[in-house]
Amino acid sequence: MQTKVIPIFVTTLALCPLAAAAIEIEPGPAQIQAALERGKTAAAARVPPDQLYAWFGSSSEMEPRGFLMTKMVGLTVMSAHFALRSAAPGDAEIRQVVDDRSLLISVVLVGDRPDFARDSYMLLAQGEQTIKPVKVRFDGQASRTSVWPKAPAYKAKVVAAFDYADLDPRAKTKISVFPAAGGEVAFEVDFARIE
């Protein structure tokens, strides 16, 4: 059976309701503190940390979707995880997130066989510029969807890291994933609308 991958274009980005505007590459102390407070507030409201990511794509398990892990999102999610355990991240954990030089993008694809995502690749396009990742990893063995054995029977992640120095943190961006079996799954994301 061959995996059928079709282009999907998404023009809006689903954000957590507390998000600020634009990806922050060098956050200051006030921005860092605000992100940590958002995480604590979310934990107090019992918002699951995975809902704090900057999501894009479909909200359905049966369609492709993904999220961006920016520095500010990373701080918020980390703070929420700690707060759920009645703790707070230390300076070392905060510094590790702030010093990260890569924007992490994770995409979940659906297909009809367990190895459909093997050797997948991801690229960003901003205007005429194509941006290659510094690292890509993928699920070599996909997990079953809730409708298995019906289509789409499997879902798998493709995760790529992009150097902040290579991209414009405020540009409209096309995120493209290329499964080895062929095709392209694409998302249109406005980086100016995320943190």
In this structure, what are the phi and psi dihedrals at residue 67, rounded to the nearest 5 degrees?
-150, 160
Q: What is the pLDDT along the chain (195 residues), one digit of tens a residue?
A: 333 443 333 333 333 333 444 689 999 999 999 999 999 999 999 999 989 999 999 888 899 999 999 999 999 999 999 999 999 999 999 999 999 999 999 999 999 899 999 999 999 999 999 999 999 999 988 899 899 988 899 999 999 999 999 999 999 999 999 988 889 999 999 998 886
Q: Determine if residue 55 is left, alpha or beta; phi over 0 gives left, psi from -120 to 50 gives alpha, anything else beta.
A: beta
What is the spatial distance between Cα 176 and Cα 158, in angstroms, rounded to a whole number?
11
User: Rounded to the nearest 5°, which phi and psi values hold at 103?
Assistant: -85, 125
pTM score: 0.84
Report the C-alpha gap between 18 and 107 in whole angstroms: 22
d(CA 195, CA 170): 10
The domain ranges of the chain are: 13-193
Pair 14, 52: CB distance under 8 Å: no
Tokens of 39: 């995480």
